Amino acid sequence: MNIHDDSMITVEGTKDPSRKTPLLKVFLRGLWSENPGLCQLLGMCPLLAVSTSAVSALGLGLATLLVVCLSSLIISILRRFILREVRIPLYVVLIATLVTVVRAYTEAYYPDLYSSLGIYLPLIVTNCIIMGRAEAVAGRENPLRSLLDAAGTGLGFGLVLFVLGSIREILGAGTWMAGAGTVLGSWASGLETVLYPSDYTYLVAILPPGGFFVLALLIAMKNAHAIHARNRRENRFRIDSVRD
């Protein structure tokens, strides 16, 4: 047993319920410190397969964000009525239903985006990120915290997808947001940019090996930043200790 402030007793290994993570931190941890693409390495199949262009990556990122937010919110609202023994099948059914709705909407209103995403749009059902947030957070927390956690995680995954797709498209095709007007609508035509002639592109960037190389570079940069920040904190602590 542990005694805290002489007034609260908690069982060893459990968290103090009064010490909740701040809401802003709940949202931000999915964007950076616990990013599913750079830290947890979840959703690697769509992350590498669809990120050959910025437009496709953006489309799948938005679809994943919508599904993870809606599923987490609904599961959190209904968590008290879901039997623990059947929670996983119910989660799968709910996620599959939401993915089917998103898939039908995309096919009806954005047929070119639907064609570019192919099998990876319905495969959102099997994305470990969505089930992981449902099991780890939505089934245990209130709707607000669950929604913020899902939004941060979905945005973090979507940002990695978009950055990866942008880098691969720029290196492999010399363009950025090519086909945005056709896929996303006429309003996005102004985003289409040709950066340099195709004669100077690196085809390997949009091939599967290029996806691994660019993703590895992003992960290395993330880890280098984390190490640098940790060293700065340690050095500041040492200086403060010497002054004291």
pLDDT tens per residue, range 35-46: 998 988 888 888
Closest CA to 210 of 221, 200, 218: 218
Sign of CA dihedral 191, 43, 125, 28: negative
**pLDDT recorded at residue 242:** 52
pLDDT tens per residue, range 113-170: 899 898 899 989 888 899 999 999 999 999 999 999 999 999 999 999 999 999 999 9
Q: What are the 10-residue block averages of pLDDT along the chain, 244 residues in total? A: 40 49 91 89 87 93 95 95 92 95 93 89 90 92 95 95 95 93 84 90 90 94 90 75 55
**pLDDT recorded at residue 60:** 93
pTM of this prediction exceeds 0.75: yes
**pLDDT recorded at residue 244:** 56
**pLDDT recorded at residue 176:** 95
Q: In sequence order, what are the residues at sequence separation of 6 or more whose Cβ sits closer than 8 angstroms to the Cβ of residue 236? A: none
CA distances to 47, 53, 110, 135, 187 from 180, rounded to whole Å, are: 19, 10, 11, 35, 9
Token duo for residue 174: 């010399």
